[in-house]
Amino acid sequence: MSQDVIVVGGGIGGLCAAIAAACDGHRVRVLESGDRLGGKAGIVVIDGVEVDTGPSVLTLPGVFDALLRRAGTSLADEATVFLPSPACRYQFVDSMTIDLFSDREQTRASVQAALGAGAARELDGFLDHARTVWEAAAPWFIYRDAPSFSKVITFGLSGWRDLARIDALRTMDAAIEARVKEPRLRWILRRYATYNGSDPRCAPGTLNCIAHVELGLGVYGVEGGISALVAALARVAARLGVEIETGARVTEIRTQRGRVQGVTLARGANLDARAVIANADARHVLVDLLPKGTRHGLDEEPVPSTSGWVGIVRAKRRADRVPHAVLFPKDYAHEFIDLFDHDRPPVEPTVYLCAQERAHRRTGWADAEPVFVMANAPAEPARGARPSDGGALRANVERRLREADLISPGDTIVWERSATELAAQFPGTRGAIYGGASNDKFAAFRRPPNRVASVPGLYLASGSAHPGGGMPLCALSGVAAARAVDRDLKR
């Protein structure tokens, strides 16, 4: 039977698109090429223990709650979310540590204890600024359809006032340096550029709103891991009548006279649909899935965001372990020079750790806990693969963790994935985690929209499309794609 909507890909954006479309009354089928749902929010089972291998924090849980309430349930009914404490511990090479929290007063007290009252006042002022930017930018660039220059012109007086408040004409670095003099605080705030794989020296100051999202609105854990959120979305979709099929690889999005007709599967079957929502990297959709020569009018080679090396450490349990930690190098500025100026993995990488038992109340092994570690790396070249560095990045990560006493003697890396392997797993991404980088003030206008106007019936829902990467934004991308489908199908 022909479907109203076929969703290609069962990641966060695809599942949310399926739920939203089903809530609108459409017949929906999800086709996932892998054997598990979740996309980059993946898992691996090591010696009988399941661990997350992708996103490690939940922000903006209200995005998921709003969608689930449309489906007659709620986030609280489907999953248990909580606020781990601290939100993150930042450690410097001189062993100084600074804990930040999801509570502003706790954060202020922690910064004051570590860096003094002046630094605490600077952070307070910056977070006020970040909140202003978020409140001005989110309605236009996050929660609405993809922005365009024509829409900006018609924003009206209040819209122009909001545009003046989003700080898009300065870089993140310039905005930080104007308000914060304490060097360690500057490092912490610059790191938020990496939350969407961008360079703070080039990314617009608008991205400083990420500091408010994390420190003002909260960093949440999901009991049982991020995969528990994926399972909740799949469960709700199934209750709404969505058909979900894994192991179903789509090889072509079929068109006739420029309009989408359905998809072709690797097993040879043709499935018809009135609309196709592609929960895959936009480049993969445009280059690999659409018929050759299709005129879509979108950029097939965007500048990619950063990728990363990730690993799972089987670590002895320690009383001093925190849910999330960041280990800075001696000179953080060199990380961005390596990544963006020299297109190479950092020589002295910043290392992120997520202790999954504490961050998400996961259950580890009888004698050890799983600790997720990550270091930034450049995306793969547009053509071919990056020459192997012989495991240098992994070696540097492990060396830095041991020197900082963040892992114990005998702790071992039991699973890992390189940028090259990530690129192979997710076609079209080049290993980029967050889609296109936001390294200039016009990046938001170039991100692919959710509705591909030049190919009627085709919609995009992923971190490479509007509004961007990260779990809540992928969810909003799916919701926006479903909203566009509903408008078009009901005309």
Q: What is the mean pLDDT of residues 146-172?
A: 73
DSSP assigned state of 329 = -
At 375, which amino acid appears?
A: A
* Ramachandran quadrant class, 321 (left: phi over 0; alpha: psi -120 to 50; beta: rest): beta
Q: Partners of 278 in the beta sheet?
A: 8, 460
Residue 198: phi and psi, rounded to 5, are -115, 175
Banded pLDDT at 441 (limits 50, 70, 90):
confident
Parts of the chain belonging to CATH 3.50.50.60: 3-40+58-76+224-302+438-489
Structure-token pair, residue 106? 């706790």
Measure the CA–CA gap between 379 and 307, rounded to whole angstroms: 5
Structure-token pair, residue 416? 């890992």
Q: Residue 97 burial (CB < 10 Å; 0-12/13-18/19+)?
A: middle
Residue whose C-alpha is closest to residue 231's, from 5, 355, 50: 50
- Give yes or no for residue 317 having a pLDDT over 90: yes
Looking up tokens 């609280």 gives: 76
Banded pLDDT at 390 (limits 50, 70, 90):
low
- Give yes or no for residue 14 having a pLDDT over 60: yes
Radius of gyration of the chain (CA): 22
- Give yes or no for residue 366 having a pLDDT over 90: yes
The pLDDT value recorded for residue 445 is: 85
Measure the CA–CA gap between 298 and 453, rounded to whole angstroms: 10
Measure the CA–CA gap between 139 and 331, rounded to whole angstroms: 36
The pLDDT value recorded for residue 389 is: 62
pLDDT per position as a tens digit, 201-213: 999 999 999 999 9
Give me the helices (H) in 80-225, please.
Answer: 104-115, 117-141, 149-153, 157-165, 172-179, 183-190, 209-215
* Contact present, 35 and 58 (Cβ < 8 Å): no
State the DSSP H helix or E strand holding residue 443, giving kind and residue range, or none if neither: helix 443-446
Taking the alpha carbons at both ends of the chain, their separation in whole angstroms is 22
pLDDT per position as a tens digit, 320-342: 999 999 999 999 999 999 999 99
Measure the CA–CA gap between 129 and 174, rounded to whole angstroms: 13
Arithmetic mean of pLDDT over the chain: 94
* Contact present, 307 and 340 (Cβ < 8 Å): no
The pLDDT value recorded for residue 383 is: 80
The pLDDT value recorded for residue 443 is: 86
Banded pLDDT at 156 (limits 50, 70, 90):
low
pLDDT per position as a tens digit, 227-248: 999 999 999 999 999 999 999 9
Banded pLDDT at 150 (limits 50, 70, 90):
low
Residue whose C-alpha is closest to residue 211's, from 169, 167, 145, 158: 167
Instruction: Count other C-beta atoms under 10 Å from residue 157's C-beta.
Output: 7
- Give yes or no for residue 401 having a pLDDT over 60: yes
Structure-token pair, residue 75? 């986030």
Q: What dotted CATH number matches 3-40+58-76+224-302+438-489?
A: 3.50.50.60
Looking up tokens 């509004």 gives: 467
Return the higher-pLDDT residue of 313 and 147.
313
pLDDT per position as a tens digit, 87-131: 999 999 999 999 999 999 999 999 999 999 999 999 999 999 999
The pLDDT value recorded for residue 159 is: 62
pLDDT per position as a tens digit, 416-425: 999 999 999 9
